[in-house]
C-alpha cells in the first residue's frame, strides 16, 4: 500500500478497517510487561478465559486528527486513561497506569500515521483501547492475567447523516444498565444489553435509543452510545445520573459552553422537561454532537420536537464548531486538551 493508504477519506463510514499495527501489553504476576507492536489482527485466548465467560472486558474510544498545520492531535487521552482505570476497578481488572496508557496510544497512532485522515476530510483516526481477562477460570472470580491492546481505524461520522438532526426513540421495555450497576463504566456487557433496543430503533428509522433512568423511568439517562444534552432557554442542561457513562465529550462541551457564556446545569432531567427545550443532541467521541430533531416516547405515544426544518439548532452548532476547531488545531487549545504527537 502506498504512503497515503489509498483511502476515499471523504466517504468513510464508522467501521473497522485494517491498519498496519496494533500495540499490546500483558499483566502477569502482578505487573505490566513490555509493550509489543504487532501486525497481527488475531488473539490467542484460552477457551476458559474470564473475558469469554464472565464479561471481563472494558474499552475506550478516542480520536486523533490531522491539523491544517500537518500536526497530529489526540484529544484528551488522559481522561480516557482515568476512565479505563475506573472501569478496571469497577469489574475487578488490573488498572492500567496512566503513563503506560498514554505511551501506547501515542505509539499506535504514530505507527499508523498513514491512516490518519487528512485535514478537511471530516474523518479522523478512531483509537480503540481494550482490556480483557485472560486467566482460565470456571468459578466466578476475576482473572489474574490481563491483556491490554490498542488498535486504530480511520472513521467517518457515526451517524450516516453527519451533522444533521436525527430521530431518537424511547422504549420503556428495555434498560441498558441497572441503578447501581455497570452503566458508569465502559464495559462490553453494557453494549450487549443495548443491542436489542438498538437494532429495533434502527429498523424503525431512529438513529439511537434514549434510555430513561432504570429505577423510576422518570429522568433522562443517555443515548445508546452517547450522552445527552438539551438547550433550555439558552442554558445547557445535561443529566446527572449514576447509571450513565461520564462522557469526555460532554465534559468538554460543558466547558466550551461556559467559555461562550452559556450557563450549564448538570442535574436530573425529568422527561417532561423536554417540552420546554429548544434544542437536543447526543454527544460522544463517535457521535461528536449530533443534533436530535425529535424524540418519540414510543409506548406512551408522545413526541418531543426540536427541529421543524431539520436544521441543527444555533447553540448546538456553535458548540460543535468550537469543539471541532480545538480538536483540529484551528482554534487555541486553552484548556490543554490536545496532545501533539511528534
The distance of closest approach from Cβ of residue 191 to ligand PLP in the complex, given in angstroms and rounded to an integer, is 7
The binder of 222, among ligand PLP, ligand COI, none, by C-beta within 5 to 8 A per type, is ligand PLP
CB of 285 vs ligand PLP, minimal distance in Å:
3
Q: Do the beta carbons of residue 23 and residue 118 sit within 8 Å?
A: no
d(CA 148, CA 65): 23
Query: What does the alpha-carbon distance between residue 237 and residue 232 come to, in Å, rounded to a whole number?
Result: 7
Toward ligand PLP, which CB reaches closer, 49 or 248? 248
Please answer whether residues 279 and 306 qualify as being in contact, where contact means their C-beta atoms are separated by less than 8 angstroms.
Answer: yes
CB closer to ligand PLP out of 27 and 211: 211
- CA-nearest of 31, 51, 49, 42 to 100 is 31
> Beta 264-266 vs 235-238: how paired, if at all?
parallel
Euclidean distance between CA atoms 182 and 189, whole angstroms:
8
β-bridge partners, 39: none
CB of 243 to ligand COI, least distance (A): 16
Please say which residue, 166 or 285, places its beta carbon nearer to ligand PLP.
285
Site for ligand COI in 53-82 (CB under 6 A): 61
* Distance from C-alpha of 270 to C-alpha of 170, rounded to nearest angstrom: 13
Q: Which is nearer to ligand PLP, 72 or 81 (CB)?
A: 81
- Residue 278 backbone dihedrals phi, psi, to 5 degrees: -100, -25
Cβ proximity to ligand PLP, 143 vs 222, nearer residue: 222
Q: Which does 182 bind (CB under 5 to 8 A by kind): ligand COI, ligand PLP, none?
A: none
CA distance 55 to 49: 10
Identify residues 90-119 at the interface with ligand COI (CB under 6 A): none
What is the binding site for ligand PLP (CB under 6 A)?
Answer: 61, 222, 225-227, 245, 247-250, 284-285
Residue 154 binds which of ligand PLP, ligand COI, none (CB < 5-8 A, kind-dependent): none
CB of 234 to ligand COI, least distance (A): 27
Query: Per-residue DSSP letters for 290-310?
Result: EEEEEEEETTTTEEEE--SSS
Binding string, 281-300, against ligand COI, x = CB under 6 A? Answer: ---xxx--------------
Residue 94 CA, chain-centre distance (Å), reads 22
Among ligand PLP, ligand COI, none, the one that 293 touches (CB under a kind-dependent 5 to 8 A) is none
Q: What angle do CA 71, 72, 76 make, to 5 degrees?
A: 130
Count of residues binding ligand COI (CB under 6 A)? 5
What is the C-alpha to C-alpha distance for residues 50 and 57, in angstroms, rounded to an integer?
A: 9
Residue bearing cell 450487549? 192
Shortest reach from residue 286's CB to ligand COI, in Å = 3
Is 156 a binding residue for ligand COI by CB under 6 A? The answer is no
Question: What is the torsion angle, in degrees rounded to the nearest 10, for the CA atoms of residue 144, residue 248, residue 128 and residue 178?
Answer: 50
Identify which of residues 119 and 191 has a Cβ nearer to ligand COI in the complex.
191
Instruction: Rule CB under 6 A: choose which of 133, 189, 198, 225 binds ligand COI.
Output: 225
The residues that are catalytic are: 186
From ligand COI, ligand PLP, none, interface partner of 56 (C-beta below 5 to 8 A by class): none
CB 208 within 8 A of CB 225: yes
**Of 277 and 326, which CB lies nearer to ligand COI in the complex structure?**
326
Using CB positions, name the residue nearest to ligand COI: 61
What distance in Å separates the CA atoms of residue 114 and residue 121, rounded to the nearest whole number?
14
Q: Tell the smallest beta-carbon distance from residue 159 to ligand COI (Å).
A: 11
Q: Which spans of this chain sit near ligand COI (rule: CB under 6 A)?
A: 61, 225, 284-286
Amino acid at each position: 500500500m502506498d504512503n497515503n493508504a489509498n483511502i476515499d477519506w471523504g466517504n468513510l463510514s464508522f467501521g473497522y478497517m485494517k491498519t498496519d499495527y496494533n500495540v499490546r501489553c500483558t499483566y502477569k504476576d502482578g505487573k505490566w510487561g513490555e509493550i509489543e507492536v504487532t501486525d497481527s489482527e488475531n488473539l490467542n485466548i484460552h477457551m476458559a478465559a474470564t473475558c469469554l465467560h464472565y464479561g471481563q472486558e472494558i474499552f475506550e474510544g478516542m480520536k486523533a486528527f490531522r491539523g491544517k498545520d500537518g500536526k497530529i492531535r489526540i484529544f484528551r487521552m488522559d481522561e480516557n486513561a482515568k476512565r479505563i482505570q475506573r472501569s478496571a476497578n469497577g469489574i475487578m481488572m488490573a488498572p492500567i497506569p496512566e503513563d503506560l496508557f498514554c505511551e501506547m496510544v501515542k505509539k499506535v497512532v504514530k505507527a499508523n500515521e498513514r491512516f490518519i485522515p487528512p485535514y478537511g476530510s471530516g474523518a479522523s483516526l478512531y483509537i480503540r483501547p481494550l482490556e480483557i481477562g485472560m486467566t482460565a477460570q470456571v468459578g466466578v472470580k476475576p482473572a489474574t492475567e490481563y491483556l491490554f491492546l490498542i488498535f486504530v481505524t480511520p472513521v467517518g461520522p457515526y451517524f450516516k447523516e453527519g451533522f444533521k438532526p436525527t430521530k431518537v426513540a424511547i422504549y420503556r421495555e428495555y434498560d441498558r444498565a441497572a441503578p447501581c450497576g455497570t452503566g458508569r463504566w465502559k464495559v462490553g456487557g453494557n453494549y450487549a444489553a443495548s443491542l436489542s433496543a438498538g437494532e429495533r430503533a434502527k429498523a424503525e428509522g431512529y438513529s439511537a435509543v434514549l434510555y430513561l433512568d432504570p429505577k423510576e423511568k422518570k429522568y433522562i439517562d443517555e443515548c445508546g452510545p452517547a450522552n445527552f444534552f438539551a438547550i433550555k432557554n439558552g442554558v445547557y442542561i445535561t443529566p446527572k445520573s449514576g447509571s450513565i457513562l461520564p462522557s469526555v465529550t460532554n465534559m468538554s462541551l460543558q466547558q466550551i459552553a461556559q467559555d461562550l457564556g452559556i450557563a450549564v446545569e448538570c442535574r436530573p432531567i425529568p422527561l417532561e422537561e423536554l417540552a420546554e427545550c429548544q434544542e437536543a443532541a447526543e454527544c460522544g467521541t463517535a457521535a461528536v454532537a449530533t443534533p436530535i430533531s425529535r424524540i418519540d416516547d414510543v409506548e406512551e405515544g408522545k413526541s418531543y420536537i426540536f427541529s421543524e426544518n431539520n436544521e441543527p439548532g444555533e447553540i448546538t452548532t456553535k458548540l460543535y464548531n468550537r469543539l471541532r476547531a480545538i480538536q483540529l488545531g484551528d482554534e487555541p487549545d486553552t484548556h490543554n486538551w490536545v496532545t501533539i504527537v511528534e
